[in-house]
Structure formats: structure tokens, C-alpha cells
Structure 1
Amino acid sequence: MLFFLNTLLLFHHLNAKAENTLCRMMGDNKYPLFSKEGDVTIGAVFAVRSKETLPSFAFTQKPQPLSCSSVTLRDFRIAQMMIFAVEEINRNGILLPNVSIGYKIYDTCGSRLSSMSAIMALMNNQKFEAGRKCNRLTPIHAIIGETESATTVILSRTTGPFRIPVISHSAGCDCLSNRKDFPSFFRTMSSDYYQGRALALLVKHLGWTWVGAVNSDNDYGNYGMEIFLNAAKKEGICIEYTVKFYRTEYEKLQKVVKTMKQGSAKVVVAFVSFFEMELLVEQLSIHNITGIQMVGVVGWITSKTLITPNTFRVMKGSLGFAVRKIYIEGFIDFVMNAFWDTAISCSQRHSNLSQDELNCSRPQDLFVLKNYSEDVPEHRYISNVYKAVYAVAHALRILLKCRERGGCEKDLTIQPQQMVEALKKVNFTVKFGDHVWFDSTGAAVAQYEVVNWQQDKNGSIQFKAVGYYDASLPPEQRFVLNTKNIIWAEGQLEKPRSVCSESCPPGTRKAVQKGRPVCCYDCIPCADGEISNETDSNNCMQCPGEYWPNAERNTCVLKAVEFLSFTEVMGIVLVFFSLFGVGITILVTVLFYRKKDTPIVKANNSELSFLLLYSLTLCFLCSLTFIGRPTEWSCMLRHTAFGITFVLCISCVLGKTIVVLMAFKATLPGSNVMKWFGPVQQRLSVLAFTFIQVIICVLWITIAPPFPYKNMKYYKEKIILECSLGSIVGFWAVLGYIGLLALFCFILAFLARTLPDNFNEAKFITFSMLIFCAVWITFIPAYVSSPGKFTVAVEIFAILASSFGLLFCIFAPKCFIILFKPEENTKQYLMGKTQCKPY
């Protein structure tokens, strides 16, 4: 039908351009609800009534005019504000001196059919003489309206080809920003592009990441919801469901209610116009659906007609954006008194109705509101209507070349396109302080209040301002919300939570559940070596090399440094045995020193015995260098001291073994071998063997010395502080040389173990070397496989075990004789034992 009417209108317009085309009225006149003559005329279309009764379309008689009922208080106040603004401009005479503004306000009854009829009536001059040529000029200079975006789109598309400017006070659909499709459209409110983005900011600010979405199935709802959904996606908000309906679609409305009831989201964003919201609230009340936090838009958030005792139970705590509430001085007095004398200046008559009487009877159902004005402060769009009327007046002032003293040139003919261009240039401030101008899309700057449905102590419902959004401010200052003053759904004081999954605490990361939105996830603990120090972290971070996660895995802490210390149990035990070995060695040394003149001490080479005891003392003490925090000096000292002292020790044992062999050879007749291995040679041999090890150690620490090393490979959670060998060849050369001497000593002692002697020391040396070699052969695999500080403990154990083995095997039998069998510690006993036996 819209296409047909547009085509018919365009066809009629084109025909009017032809020469000698006569004007004639097609159909009956449609008369405005309110009108006034003036030098210039402003048209308006408002849904003053909301219910339309269709006549019979039996096609047997001419259809009667449509009848309207059920006054919409909001649009009635809007109509009153338009008249108030016109009267104020006419009365002041400053803006348009000697020019009066008239108006024609049509009631659309909230119907698209009536809206089209009103638009046609506005664009056509109803007063002309039959047979006269059409002047091709519209009788109005601008149209204010409509209230809803969907009907405003129809209005703008219809008037667009004729370039008649349309100024809407409440149509927010972003679709109307398209200047190609709507080149003559303006509005004194902002585009829903800003409201959709502001809704996403509001939801994000309140921590709601799981919401439902409901919208009107028209241009207003569909465009607005698309903007919100795109902005919500960028803000990380997930939408559980998106449903829509239109006011005439009952089945879809029921589906919306069912979806809201079954959904898990506790927050629902309703981008719905007033008429759809009225139906939705009614159904939510019928189905007793409570506990949902409604987030609304300017289309319904401040509509008191939605509030009844039943519906407020469902809608209590609703939150949303509203047009700013502005007090306009003088308007309430006008509503109470002047309006009824200015716009409705006829008495109520009940005789046979002439046409004039019909004009008077049209607004009769409005008289019940004559003494009612309590609702006026809550109507927020009236300020936008006020600014729209003044915008038209300022554009007329430009076109009529008005001067403060010279008046206006009111006889000038104004083309619609001229009016459009003039509106683009208006820039003024109204009396309540708002600055009015239109951007490149024909819209005003976005300025909203955040309102909250609250009930005061008296039981009355209030739309309390709890924040604002102002797009004219810098980005960081545009949105402000005071959550302390908000009453939430069902009157709760605590903000509801609406999330698909609870927040993941620090120490975990989010893992999206397969097939579900990104807001639905599981919380997975961070892997070893990783942390997350934020709530709802998407990824865990790897700790740097020397750091490791704490128990909660929310921060990186320095790894525990492990080394064999003097304070731990193992260190204390090893120190005890080391010092115990030193003590025993010293006691043996003291005992031997006190008994140095006894035959058994003399017979076993007392000089090498004392040197061996000294080297054993050093062996026990060198184990202490392996305990404690490794440093550069301690690392070099521990390995070189160990290598040199053990070679010194083995050299002494080797010397004693050779002495035993040489002594046996010396007892044979004609043998003079002892002169080749006397005390001097013994000292030189020990010195020579030890010097070789010193050379090896010097080369080692010169070329690639041992150094402290933080081993982070063996354990992930801690650092093993150890001494790196530096040169592996140097380490094994030191050990190999000790092993070579020990093996050589073991072979010689083994060969001499059965030599006939009074007190053959070779068998004790053999046993000691056997223990020594066994310990160090076992040490190699244990050393390689032991982790951390146990590697050092194994090395200390090998040192202590081999040292105790040498000490006890070589010196224990002698000490036993000295202490417990002194009768065997005599020269006669030893001599007797050494007498040769007959063959």
C-alpha cells in the first residue's frame, strides 16, 4: 500500500507540473486535530490516540472515516509542547518579527494507514478553488514527527522526493542517518548508533557478560539491536539469545516470553519501542517472570503508562538510557490554562453537527485531561519538540532575511529545498541552555541520562537518574554511573550476576567450551612453570628462567636454590663424620707419637705413618669444602684439595707397600736393595707422585677451572647450585691418577700380603686398597645418577668412606696391639717371630 500511495503521489505531482493542469481533490478532506493559521505553517504528525477502529470495507457503500480512541498522554503532551513553542515565538516577536507561525497537527492513532493519510493531507493544500491551476508548492514549510522510528521512516520516504524537511523529536533509528535515502530528515535527538554503543558500555561496566536480547521487529529495533550486538562483541559480552517480535505478532511474543523464562541470563537488553514493550511487560506479568534485570532504551524506559501494580513487580529495578529531563518554564501553566483557550477554542455542543461543529467535537475526549498536569515533569521528549520548533523558526529567519528592527520579508516564496539547506545552518541556544545544531547526518549530539526504576517511601514510582552518557565529552569522560544509588531487579540492593561461567581466579586460564560462546568456559590450572595474575585470563604466562610459580600460580617467585648446606640434617651428619674422622686420626697420631719408640711403630716406617696420618687428616677436612654455598674459590678448592690430599695419602700407602717389599728383599742373603729405597727415596717418591697431581690440578684450574653453576635442567621448580667441573678431562684426569696409584698400590700389596714377616703390613694395605677401590668404583655411577645436592653428598661419602677405610685397616691393628696387647709390642716378640723356620 505504501508503494502504491508513493507512486500515486509522485504521479500526481508530475502531472501538476504540466501546463494547464488543473487541481482537483481526490477523496474527502482529512482535518487536523489542532490547527492555526499563520504566515508560515509547520505540520506535525503525532499518535495522540493509540487505538484505531477500521470502518466496514463491504464495498457496497463509501467507507466512513477512521475513528480513534485511547489517548496517549505522552504524544498529547508533545502536541501541547509544539503549540506552546509556536505561541511563545509568535508572542515574543523577536525571532520572526511581523511573521506569525501557524500549525497543523494530525493524529495518526499509532497506525501506518492513518499516518499515510495525515502525510498526504499535510502535503496537499486543502483550500483551493476548483478549476485553478496547482502552484506546485506545499502548504507547509516543515513537518515535526513522528514519535516512532518505523513511522518516521514512512514519513521521510514519502516527503523525501519533494524535499520537505522532517524533524523528529524521538526517532532514533540509525537507518535515518543515511543522507542518500533521507536527504531532508533531521532530528533533535541522537542516532541509536550512540545508544547501542552506550548500552554495551553499561553492560560491560556492570560486569555482565551473559545477556539476553529482545528487540522490536521493525527498523528501530533491528538497526538498534545490530549496533548493540556489534558493540557487545567488541566488549567481550556474549548474547545467550536474540529474539524479536512486532506488536501484531502474538505467537512471536509468546516465543519471546518463553525464551526469557527458560534462559539462564539474568540480564535482558530490550531494544523495544513503547508499544511492543507494553505488550511484553503484560505477558511477563501474566507468566509471573521475575528476577530478570531489564536494561532499556529511550523508547520505553521512562514511560509511566507501563507501570501498574502487577507490571512493576516484574519491572522493578529496570535500568536504561533516557532522554534528559529538562524543565521548561511556563509549560505547566500553558497546559493547565492557555492551551484549552488557544488550541481548543470552541464549546462542546450536541446539536446536529455542521463541519465546524465536527472540528470542535474531534478533541472532546481530551477534555478529561484539562486539569491534570502531574505527568508533565516526566515527559522527556517535550524538550526535543521545543527545540525542533525553534530550529524551524531559526531556519525561517535565515530565509526570510529577518532583521531585529526591519522585520522579515514575509512575501518571499520559500522552496522546500531552501528550508532543508537553512536547517543545516542553524546554530543557537535555547532558553534552558541546550545548544542546538545538526551534524552531517541531521542528528543532534548524543546526551542520555541513565535512569533506574525505583519506588519511594510513599509507594510512587520514580525514574531516578544514576548516571549519564554524553558523546560531546572526551572518550574517558563520556560515561559515568553511580552504582551505589541503583536498586536492582526485584528491589535487591546487591547487583545481580549474569555470566555463563564464573570468573576464573588468578592461577587459572579460560578454556572455551566446545560449541558454546566464548563467555562459556572452564577454568584450567596453569601448567607447570606458568602463572596468570589476572582474573579471567585467557592465557598463562611462562615464568622467567630463575623464577617459578608460587603455590597459587598467580605470581612468579625466585626458585628455591638447593645446595648442601651446613644447617640441614644431611650436612650436619656429614660434618660430624668428617670431624669425627679428624678426631680419630689425631688420636691415632698422638698415640703413635707417644709410642714412636716402640718396636711396632718403628717396624712400620714411622715417618710414612705420620705423613699418612697427616694426609688422612687433610682428606677428612677436604670433605668440608664440599659443604656450603658454592663459590668460585670453593669450587676450585674442593676438587684440587681432594685430588692432591688423596694422592698424598695413596703415595704414602704406596711407599709403605714398597718398603714392605724392599724389607723382605733385604732379609734375603746377599740382598742390598734397601739402600735404593731408603728414607730419602721414600720422601722423594711421595713428593714425586704428589707433584704430578699438583701439575694436573694447576693445568685444570688454569685452562678450565670449576665454577659455580645454576643447574635448572634437572628440576623445573628449583635451582641446583653446584660446581661445574669446567674441564671434564681435568676432573677425570685427577680421579684417574688417584685410581691408577690406588690400583698399583693394591697390586703390590696383594703380592706382598703372604710374605713371611713378624707383622706384615701388606695384608692390611691390601684390604684398605680393596675398600678404597670398591668405594670409588661404586662412586662413579652413583655420582652420575644422583640429583642435586645428593651428588655432592655421594662424593663426600666416598671421601669419608675411603679415608675411614685407610685409617682403620692400616692403623687399627697397630693401635689394638699398642693399647691392649703391649706384650706383643716388644723387640723380643718381633725378633722371635722373625726367626727363619727350617725348610
Structure 2
Amino acid sequence: MTQKKINTPGEEVLISIREFSELKDSPEVDRVLMDDPHPIPYAFYHPGNLILGAIVSQVFFLHNPPSFIELPVQMLIDEPVSVPKNYQHILALAFAVKEINENPQILSNITLGFHILNSYYTASMTCKATLSLLSGQHRFVPNFKCNLQSNLMAVIGSLVSKTSTNIATISAIYKIPQLTFGSFSPLQEDKTLFSSLYQMVPNEYHQYIGVVRLLQHFTWMWIGLFAVDDDNGDKFLQTTVPMLSLHGICYAFMVKIPKQAYMNELINLLIGQVEKYSVLMERKVNVFFVYGEPPSFQVLRLLLFLAYNWWGFPAIGKVWIATSHWDFDSLSIQKTWGMQTFHGSIVFSVHSNQPFGFQKFIQKISPSWAKQDGFIQAFWEQAFSCSLKISKEQGEKKPCTGEEKLETIPGTLFEMNMTGHSYNVYNAVYAVAHALDALYKSSSKYKRSTKGGRMILQNVQPWELHPFLKNILFNNSAGDTIHFDENGALVAGFDVTNWLMFNNESVVRVIFGTMDPQAPLGKELSLNDDAIVWHTSFNKVLPLSVCNENCYPGYSRKKKEGEKFCCYDCAPCPEGMISYQKDMDACAKCSEDQHSNLERNQCIPKIISYLSYGEPLGITLALSAVGFAMITALVLGIFVKNHGTPIVKANNQTLTYILLSSLFLCFLCSLLFLGKPTQMTCLLRQITFGIIFSAALSALLAKTITVVLAFMTTKPSSRMRKWIGKGLANGIALSCPCIQVGLCTIWLSTFPPFPELDKYSLKGEITLECNEGSVVMFSCVLSYMGFLSLVSFTVAFLARKLPDSFNEAKFITFSMLVFCSVWLSFIPAYLSTKGKYMAAVEIFSILISTAGLLACIFSPKCYIIVLKPELNNRGQLTRRSSRRI
């Protein structure tokens, strides 16, 4: 034995080697390990100048299950149990190599060979298989290369990320390119550790985005999560749970699927955890999102088998959503177990096509290949439940005829169409072949020589393929473009497939959508809903998977205390806010010029509102104002016509005319409050109202004081005689309104009234109204009017018992009582109304108070003037006055 250094780029590794000549006659080279009872089978060993190494997961072994579990597997204690569907991966590799060797356009005159070994889903067997590839054909001599003529250029494998990692730890030492065709392990993203690794599947993260888009598309917001109980499952949960929450999706429960183990360990583990699997029956959760590599599916099937057949759980009908790792494959012992539970499942599969001639190729396989194929015997016996003559023990199985048809095998055991994982193997072979072809064409240093009609290639090292693999770009025979991204992952999309499981064990996968990672954000997923078939439990109706009923437009979600955010109550939107979609987190506020409709699901424009002449209320108030004004004018006309009569002359005739004129204008000023407010009407309405009413109250005050002074001067010694006369009365009537004019002038010069839009006071209306400008000045104007009315009422009340023939004090008292009552009621009524009804309240108060003054003061006099003219003379009035005294 000699020691020899093998130099690799970037590092030097000391490996113990022996020359091939020293080992070629050794009788022990065909053994796997010295005491290992399970040799590594070779499938389709194919010699060639360049060798592809492939490691697949085809078989694992069952240990004794617990004695109290009565299962079909009890009869298979010592029998290897295979995953027949994985055999297609072997056929895909052999088919690809066959096509390449027959194609003169690729590796012309160069024969591509391959070795295929089994990993058994275990780390020890994976390492053994990898070292065996490095040793050479049918030899396992760790650290020694026993076949110098077969140059190993690349390794293809594996289906499971953990197996791929185990392979990479060895192949990376030699910088041998490794192309995985299964899952994308998060650990493999570290290119410093796995710089020689290439993924024949796109990044897993794209699938998670696709699942989120799928859940959003069907409004499935309450789901169950299943993840394999290992580091990859934990990484999956750490990535997806925040992503789901970010998009408004919650998980009701989280179940860890036990990772693949020996059967007795697995069953004991499942029995110990049976109680937690009762959550599968949760009625509100109709969608399960499952993550796990191929062995996990077989474990899940075992779990469901035990649940239904041993623990008595009823069958469940749910929507299973799985990533591309799952292919719904079964162990050979599971082929009699029904698959109807997974009917209607949705799987994101790596995009695949059907290479021309593949089906014809696999139809030619036969048990007679056993000399070259170390897997076909186990596959044939397990798939067809028969025994070949070359088997050591036939047992109770029927003999195999060798004429069995692959088309009769259930779809969970074998498919005639190339599956996604097999398509990845097919593309991996072509990627290596194109890289080799580019390598030879790019340089002349690889000289070729002829030996026995075959081309011998010299000085070809596997690590020299890396620059060509990283930049590989070609179209395969199925028309798909193959190239890698900067992380060494395949740039491709996914097919969204609907799996249909029938009672006759046939399986049909229907592609109803695509997932394109390169599409614009939000447009990655494209679906054809009409092509989907749901589980029979849903009666052909779209499944619902929500914590509670949807909140329909007009309602928003209200969080339930102690519950996840997907569980909520529905609260109606308040006035002015709407929700126009289902399950909105909050109601949206309408703009200022809009309001919500009755259903609270749409904003509609507000109407412009003001007290117009055209509406019934405006017409009524306008007619009332004009009617009262005409009555006042009529009374004024009567008084003017009868100006010489004693009853008109009494109590200062001028003040009477001033009062009637003021009352006439008071009725008409109410019309300023009607119609569309403008800058002019807003300036005039309150100012005019305040000044005219002050003039009317001042005239009343002057009349009352005149009455009091007239009776006080009847005493001979009274000093009040000098105040008697029209000067005092006229002075009061003119001076008091002047104070109001001063207040109004200050108001107009500081904060004058102006028109504005009130968008908030009334539902569905924008009120066009006058803003008073200064509330303080408006209050001062009203307060001054209140002061005049209070003084007039007080003086009139004190003079009410004087002889009434010449005394108006009693009538003024009643009129001021009505006036004060109306305006005291006006204040709360005005403050409690909104919009145009504020103007209506003020008009009503003006009309009622003015009509009260007119009626209480002038109706008795008009009665005498018009109906009792015989009483309208000085003698009659004097006698009546004497009798009352």
C-alpha cells in the first residue's frame, strides 16, 4: 500500500490509496463492509469513459413491531420493504444516459457510464454508497480508487435533503459536482460548505409563497400545519408561520410528524402520541398544509392507518396541501391501504414534461435485467406481490411470470408518466452531459486517443465542470429550458396539481394551475378553479376553512380576547364608515362630502341642504311671514285711518306707528333666513333681526314709561310733569336701538357672519348655512334684546293695575310674557337642532314672538275701532275709567 496526495482546488487532502493493479484480483473487493449483511446493490451498472454516480433511496428495513399490534407488516419482519415508485428515478437516469450515448450532438464518440447505489434512507449506508462510488466498480475500499479507467465526474442524489447532505460531506472533499433531485434543504444554502452542490429543484421559499397565494385565493384562513419532526421541519415552521400571519392566515394546531425510523420504534412513538392526533377531527379546519420529505408521507399513512383501523377514529375528508417533496408514494406493504383520505389533495410539483420515448423504454423492463440491475427483483416482487424463481424463499406468494404489466400497478406504487422527481433526474443527467460537452469543446488540452475503437479522455477532473454547470443553459428534449440561479438552484416554476384517488387504486393527477416565481408580485399563482375536484365529503362545493363565519361588507372584524386574530366577532361599521370587502380589519371612513349607505358597504355623495323656498317647511314659513306682515300693515292702515280717534291718540301716536312699522319689518326680516345662504344674506339676517327687534322693544319700553309717567303727573305736587311730552318717549325709542346698532357694527368689523358648509352635523347631508362668525357678539346682540324685553316686562308689570282705558301696560305685560317665553324656549331649541332646522327654529321664534306682540297689544284696540266704534270717544273712555276707579 502506498500513500499519495490528491490535490483539489483550494485544499489538499491526504488520502490512502492503492494502485488498481494491487486490487484487481482481490476476492474481497465486491464486499461492502467486512461484516455488513446488506451489500449495496448496483442498478444498471453501465461502463463508460466518464461515470455518473447516482445514489437513490429505494429500500429500508423493518424491525419487529410490538407483538400486540396486529398489522400486515407482521408477516414482513425480515423482508426488505421497498418504495416501488422510486424505481422510476433509476429508469429516468438510465433512459437519459441511453439518449445521450445515442445522440451524436452531445459527447460525440464518448460513452457515458453510470453507477447507481442505494442509501437506505440512513446516514451510514449513504456514506458507504458514496465511498463505494469513489472506489470504483463493484468495490468498496474507503480512501482508495480501484478503477482508474472509469472517471467519476458527478454524483446525482438524493431525494432526501439529509441524504444529500451526507453525500456532500464526502463528495465536496474532491470538489465533485453533486446534483440533488429532491428537496431543497435550508442547510444547503450555505455555499461555503456546499460549494459543489446544485439543486434540480427551485428554492423552497417559492413554494411557500405559492401556498400562501392559494390559501388567499380560496379564503382559507384557519388551517392545520403538519411538519416532520426534525431540523428541516423546524426551519419550515420558522419560515411559514410568520409568513402566514403576515397574510392574515392562522394555524389552529401544529402536528409534528415522526421522522422515518424502524417500524417498531415508529409504532411505539405513534401509540404514545395518539391523543394529540384527535385535533385532525376539528370541524372548522378543513385544510392541512403538510411539509415533509418522502418518508414522512409513509409515516403519515401509517398514522392514519392506525387511527382508523386500531383506535377507531372516523375517516376524515380534508384538503391536503403539500409541497413538491411529496409524490404520494407508498411502501410496498401499504399498497392495500386506501388512499381516499387524500382524494382531492393539492400538491405543488416541480414542473415536468414527458420526454419522447420514455414510456416505451419502461415497458421493456423485465426481471431478466437482474444481472445488471440490483433493484429490479425487489421492485418486481413488491409491486406485483409475487415471487421470482431466483428468490431464496418464495413463501406464500404466487410465482411471478415475468409478463406482468406495469400499467396494472396502482399509481401510488408506480406511474407510467415521468414524475417530477424523475424529471429532475433526467435533467440532471443532461446538465452534466452538456457541461462535459462544453468543457471538451472549450479547450484542446484534453487530448483524445483511440483504444479498441473507444475514445480515451485524459486529464479530465470533475471540479473543472463547475464553471460550466454554473452557467449551463440548454433546452432539453421535452422543450424546457434548464439553468441555475446564483445559488445553484434550478430556475423553474411549479405545476399545481390536483390528485384524484379512486377506489380501484388508480391515481390521476390533474394540473390546474402554475406557480411562476419570476412573475410580478401577487401574480405568481395562476389557477383554473373549474378543473379542481374536491374530496367527496364537500359535496362538490368549495371547502370552507375559517375559524368563524366571514364578516360581510358593512361589518369589520373585532378581536376575541384570548383567541388568535383569525377568530373574531363581526361589528357593524359606525355611521360615516364602510367596509366593502369580506373580513376587513377596520371600517374605512368616507370622505367629507360622502356618507355611508344603510348597509354600510358604500359611500354615497351627501346632498346639499338648506332651508329653501321650494320645500314644504320653507313655503309654510314664508307664507306665514308674509301673512303676518300683511296683517300688521292692515293694522297700521286702520290706525292711520283712525288717527284722530281717542284710542289711537292715547299713549303717543308716534310710538304706535313706530311699533307697528317695526313689527312689520320683523315679519319680513324672517325671509332673510330662507333660501340659499350667500355672503350678503349672512351679513344681513342677524344684524337686521337684532336692530329691528331692538327698535320694537324700545318702542314698547317708551310706551310703558309714558303710561307710568302720565299717571304719576296726575298729582298736583308731582315733579314728573317736566318729563311729560313726546321728547322723552321719542328719545327712548331712538336711543335704545342705537346701542344695538353699535354692537352690530363692532360685530361686522371684527368677526362678521359668513356662509359655510357643515359636513358633519346631519347624516347624509351637507348643510349650507351661515356661520355667525363670533358667538360672543351674537350672544351680546341676543342679550341686549333680552335686557330690553326684561325691562319692558318689569315696568309693564308694575303699571298693570292703572286704569286700563288709557293704560296699555296690561297688554304690554301679556305681550312681553309671550315674547320672553318664546325666546327663552328658543335658546335650548336652537342649540339642540342641526342644519337647516336651526334657521327654521329662529324664523318660528321671530314669527311667534312678533305675532304675540301684535296680538296682545293691538287686537283689543282694533276690536274697539272696527267692531265697537261707539266706544271710541273720550266720554265713553272717561266714564269707563271712572267706573273702574
Pairwise TM-score range, normalised by the shorter structure: 0.7 to 0.9
- Residue from 337, 356, 367 that aligns with 1:329: 356
Point out the structure with max Rg over C-alpha: 1
Counterpart position of 2:290:
270
How far, CA to CA, are the matches of 1:147 and 1:555 in structure 2? Answer: 54
RMSD over equivalenced CA pairs, Å: 4.9
- C-alpha displacement at 1:498, in angstroms? 1.1
1:347-382 deviation digits (Å, cap 9, x = unpaired): xxxxxxxxxxxx995999998476535732253333
Does the aligned pair in 2 maintain the 1:448–1:470 contact within 8 Å?
Answer: yes
Counterpart position of 1:28:
31
- C-alpha displacement at 1:699, in angstroms? 4.7
Counterpart position of 1:87:
98
How far, CA to CA, are the matches of 2:816 and 2:554 in structure 1? Answer: 56
* Counterpart secondary structure, 1:381: helix
Query: What is the one-letter code of the residue matched to 1:454?
Result: L
Does the aligned pair in 1 maintain the 2:495–2:515 contact within 8 Å?
Answer: yes
Counterpart position of 1:300:
326
Counterpart position of 1:217:
229
- C-alpha displacement at 1:672, in angstroms? 14
The count of corresponding residues between Structure 1 and Structure 2 is 801
Matched, 1:320 2:347: yes
Q: 1:370 to 1:46 in 2, by over 3 A?
A: farther
Does the aligned pair in 2 maintain the 1:507–1:533 contact within 8 Å?
Answer: yes
- C-alpha displacement at 1:526, in angstroms? 4.2
How far, CA to CA, are the matches of 2:183 and 2:646 in structure 1? Answer: 125
Q: 1:787 to 1:108 in 2, by over 3 A?
A: closer
Matched, 1:45 2:92: no
- C-alpha displacement at 1:462, in angstroms? 1.4
How far, CA to CA, are the matches of 1:222 and 1:681 in structure 2? Answer: 102
Matched, 1:387 2:413: no
How far, CA to CA, are the matches of 1:53 and 1:692 in structure 2? Answer: 113
Q: 1:444 to 1:769 in 2, by over 3 A?
A: closer
Counterpart position of 2:635:
588
How far, CA to CA, are the matches of 1:513 and 1:260 in structure 2? Answer: 23
Matched, 1:160 2:172: yes
Counterpart position of 1:354:
none
Counterpart position of 1:241:
253
Does the aligned pair in 2 maintain the 1:43–1:103 contact within 8 Å?
Answer: yes
Greater displacement, 435-444 / 393-402: 393-402
Counterpart position of 2:456:
410
Does the aligned pair in 2 maintain the 1:533–1:554 contact within 8 Å?
Answer: yes
Counterpart position of 1:642:
689
* Counterpart secondary structure, 2:431: helix
Q: 1:340 to 1:98 in 2, by over 3 A?
A: farther
- C-alpha displacement at 1:94, in angstroms? 3.8
- Residue from 417, 437, 441 that aligns with 2:483: 437
How far, CA to CA, are the matches of 2:562 and 2:794 in structure 1? Answer: 78
* Counterpart secondary structure, 1:92: coil
Does the aligned pair in 1 maintain the 2:260–2:295 contact within 8 Å?
Answer: yes
* Counterpart secondary structure, 2:54: strand
* Counterpart secondary structure, 2:109: coil
Matched, 1:618 2:671: no
Counterpart position of 1:250:
267
Matched, 1:469 2:515: yes
Matched, 1:520 2:567: yes
* Counterpart secondary structure, 1:215: strand
Percent of aligned positions with the same letter in both sequences?
A: 30
Greater displacement, 732-741 / 507-516: 732-741
Write out aligned runs for 1:711-750 (5 A). 723-727=770-774, 730-731=777-778, 734-735=781-782, 738=785
Query: What is the one-letter code of the residue matched to 1:617?
Result: F
Query: What is the one-letter code of the residue matched to 1:204?
Result: Q
Query: What is the one-letter code of the residue matched to 1:92?
Result: N
How far, CA to CA, are the matches of 1:770 and 1:820 in structure 2? Answer: 26
Does the aligned pair in 1 maintain the 2:815–2:857 contact within 8 Å?
Answer: no
- C-alpha displacement at 1:422, in angstroms? 5.0
Does the aligned pair in 1 maintain the 2:172–2:194 contact within 8 Å?
Answer: yes
Q: 1:665 to 1:536 in 2, by over 3 A?
A: closer
Write out aligned runs for 1:192-231 (5 A). 192-218=204-230, 221-224=233-236, 226-231=238-243
Query: What is the one-letter code of the residue matched to 1:386?
Result: Y
- C-alpha displacement at 1:487, in angstroms? 0.8
Counterpart position of 1:4:
none
Does the aligned pair in 2 maintain the 1:257–1:284 contact within 8 Å?
Answer: no
Greater displacement, 87-96 / 729-738: 729-738
- C-alpha displacement at 1:577, in angstroms? 5.4
* Counterpart secondary structure, 1:211: strand
Counterpart position of 1:177:
189
Q: 1:140 to 1:208 in 2, by over 3 A?
A: same
- C-alpha displacement at 1:214, in angstroms? 1.6
Greater displacement, 479-488 / 506-515: 506-515
1:5-47 deviation digits (Å, cap 9, x = unpaired): xxxxxxxx94626999976858825562432332232222334
How far, CA to CA, are the matches of 1:745 and 1:380 in structure 2? Answer: 103
How far, CA to CA, are the matches of 1:609 and 1:133 in structure 2? Answer: 135
Q: 1:577 to 1:151 in 2, by over 3 A?
A: same
How far, CA to CA, are the matches of 1:831 and 1:85 in structure 2? Answer: 138
Counterpart position of 1:284:
304
1:62-115 deviation digits (Å, cap 9, x = unpaired): xxxx99745544332322232222233333344223332233223445555544
How far, CA to CA, are the matches of 1:787 and 1:198 in structure 2? Answer: 57
Q: 1:463 to 1:546 in 2, by over 3 A?
A: closer
- C-alpha displacement at 1:753, in angstroms? 6.0
- Residue from 68, 75, 80 that aligns with 2:86: 75
Query: What is the one-letter code of the residue matched to 2:484?
Result: F
Write out aligned runs for 1:542-691 (5 A). 542=589, 549-555=596-602, 578-579=625-626, 581-603=628-650, 606-627=653-674, 630-654=677-701, 656-657=703-704, 686=733, 690=737
Matched, 1:535 2:582: yes
Q: 1:322 to 1:767 in 2, by over 3 A?
A: closer
How far, CA to CA, are the matches of 2:777 and 2:245 in structure 1? Answer: 66
Q: 1:775 to 1:414 in 2, by over 3 A?
A: same
How far, CA to CA, are the matches of 1:221 and 1:175 in structure 2? Answer: 12
- C-alpha displacement at 1:681, in angstroms? 8.5
- Residue from 830, 854, 876 that aligns with 1:829: 876
How far, CA to CA, are the matches of 1:733 and 1:427 in structure 2? Answer: 89
How far, CA to CA, are the matches of 2:229 and 2:18 in structure 1? Answer: 42
Query: What is the one-letter code of the residue matched to 1:313?
Result: Q
- C-alpha displacement at 1:633, in angstroms? 2.8
Counterpart position of 1:427:
473
- C-alpha displacement at 1:449, in angstroms? 0.9
Query: What is the one-letter code of the residue matched to 1:588?
Result: V
Does the aligned pair in 1 maintain the 2:819–2:852 contact within 8 Å?
Answer: no
Does the aligned pair in 2 maintain the 1:532–1:539 contact within 8 Å?
Answer: yes
How far, CA to CA, are the matches of 1:67 and 1:655 in structure 2? Answer: 127
* Counterpart secondary structure, 2:106: coil
Counterpart position of 2:499:
453
Counterpart position of 2:130:
119
How far, CA to CA, are the matches of 1:455 and 1:129 in structure 2? Answer: 43
Query: What is the one-letter code of the residue matched to 2:362?
Result: V
Does the aligned pair in 2 maintain the 1:225–1:271 contact within 8 Å?
Answer: no
Query: What is the one-letter code of the residue matched to 1:250?
Result: I
1:405-426 deviation digits (Å, cap 9, x = unpaired): 9967724133343345554454
Query: What is the one-letter code of the residue matched to 2:660?
Result: L
1:619-662 deviation digits (Å, cap 9, x = unpaired): 23333434555443333333233233334434544554566577
* Counterpart secondary structure, 1:140: strand
1:474-498 deviation digits (Å, cap 9, x = unpaired): 5455421111211112264322111
Does the aligned pair in 2 maintain the 1:210–1:519 contact within 8 Å?
Answer: yes
How far, CA to CA, are the matches of 1:362 and 1:32 in structure 2? Answer: 17
